[in-house]
Amino acid sequence: MKPRAAILLVRISDDKAGDAAGVGRQEDDGRTLADRLGWTIAEVIVENDTSAYKRRKVRLPDGTTALRTVRPGFRSALDKLASGERDGLLAWDLDRTARDPRDLEDLIDIVESRNPRIPVTSVTGSLRLDTDGDITMARVLVAVANKSSRDTARRVARKHEALAAEGKPGGGGFRGYGFTAEGHEVVEDEAKVLREIGARILGDWDGWTDEQRGRIDPELGESLHSIAEDLNYREVPTATGVPWSGRSVGSVVSKASVAGLRSHKGEVVGPAVWDAIVPKDRWEEICLRLAQRAGTTDLTLQRWLNGVLRCSKCGRMLEGSHGNGGPRYWCATPRGGCGKIAVKASFVEDEVERQVLDLLSRPKVLHRLQRVATTEVSEAARQELAEDEEQLKELARMWAKREITFAEYREARSLIDERVKASRALVVSATPRILRGLLAGDVQASWKRLTPADKREVILALIPGYDVLPHDRRYGNKFNPDRLAPIKSK
């Protein structure tokens, strides 16, 4: 029996032009075949700019995670065929329907669930599931297509690694602000804007009026939101034509390319072949300022002992949550915790604050904080960071000249990367700046003015945290301060 409510599935993995011309041609060919076969197309499902090979980590209905292709259109087609809402599937080619064996098996299961089987065909004739022989051939062809995609992905990844090591642009994607799409040459008008943004973040821009300058703290610089508002008011265009936002202002000036550096997968791998718009040292200061801001603003509305309290049962950190008795810290089971330790937020926050204020009244503790607040540690980290980054550049040059193999390059780089991450963590740490402000005057009054995130930084500068012990029922509903056991430093 010929389908009276068939699905026409059309897909193209890469629509760079954005005009959906590829899927449009597939639809024309599919409708022509449907007319010839006498099928009635009830629905066209379009997967434009959608890969049938790339997999992502997704959460399955049973709560576990797995790698799957993300194709809502294809899944919708399977659901409708399984329910009987649609009675046939027509596509342009087998590899337009599936390039992942698991996707094909899901389709086969549904086709074979009916007797006679649900009709499936394609314009090129490569997709047929009428017989066991057809199914076997489809499995072979999808396996071949999957291997082809893997080979292509591996070659493309290796090419981008080589380009990164040589400091060359990778190509593709949107044009980076400040550079041309072809040749990655500096666009001077946009470069001026990038330098201006950097100066406003660092607090040394010469374009402010005296009144504006008086409102800006040189230690913090101008806010990204304020910069974005001014750029929009002046009708300064972005690279994509959309209005500026605080996020886009911070993004364009913090990209490694702005400092004449080449990054790959989020890591700086060495110098680039193009000119720097902002000197490297100044760019690092800008990134440091942005990191310090992020460290003191993104946790303001959360419980301030997140990351301080640890479950004494399973060792996971307690998280702020809302229980039947109000706000609490809990070893959350949805995050992999045991769920056996919980404490009321107001009780534990009051007790930790009491202990901190007591510590802040002791001269030895204040002396220790003053040492942490100095720049000696961060300066040493800066020096180590510079040396390691120089070593990464030399390593990349050796690989580019084929003096070492890629395996040797990767192994050496992994060791240096660990040191780089540790040094950067110290360089961008917000703790010294917070402590300098805390120790500048009345310590206890300054503590009261700290944001929740800043309070947490001070606590972690004093102690590694607390293990929260189980509740002793002999105390009834009262909070027992002995439940907090300071974690010993390693």
Which helix (H) or strand (E) segment holds residue 368: the answer is helix 363-373
Measuring CA to CA, which residue among 344, 298, 311, 338 is closest to residue 456? 298
pLDDT at 1 over 70: yes
Alpha carbon dihedral 304, 307, 308, 311, in 10-degree steps, equals 120
Mean pLDDT across the chain, nearest whole number? 80
What radius of gyration do the chain's Cα atoms show? Answer: 30
In angstroms, the CA 278 to CA 82 distance is 58
In angstroms, the CA 211 to CA 214 distance is 5
Q: Choose between 157 and 353: higher pLDDT.
A: 353
pLDDT at 163: 60
Count the helices and strands in the chain (H runs, E runs): 17, 14
Measuring CA to CA, which residue among 351, 366, 347, 345 is closest to residue 302? 345
pLDDT at 320: 81
pLDDT at 237: 92
Average pLDDT of 113-127? Answer: 92
- Comparing 157-161, 221-225, 326-330, 483-487, which segment has the lowest mean pLDDT? 157-161
406: which residues sit within 8 A by CB, 6+ positions away? 161, 399
Q: Does residue 116 have a cis bond before it (omega within 30 degrees)?
A: yes
Measuring CA to CA, which residue among 30, 45, 51, 20 is closest to residue 145? 51
Band of residue 420 on the pLDDT scale cut at 50, 70, 90: low
Q: Give the tokens for residue 347.
A: 């009780």
User: Which 3 state secondary structure label does DSSP give 151?
Assistant: helix
pLDDT at 44: 92
- Kindly report the pTM of this predicted structure: 0.41
Most confidently modeled range among 164-173, 194-203, 333-342, 373-382: 194-203
Instruction: Determine the angle formed by the axes of helices 188-202 and 224-233, rounding to 10 degrees.
Output: 140
In angstroms, the CA 48 to CA 73 distance is 10
Mind listing the domains of the chain with CATH numbers? 6-150 (3.40.50.1390), 188-297 (3.90.1750.20), 309-486 (no CATH)
User: Which 3 state secondary structure label does DSSP give 235?
Assistant: coil
pLDDT at 18: 44
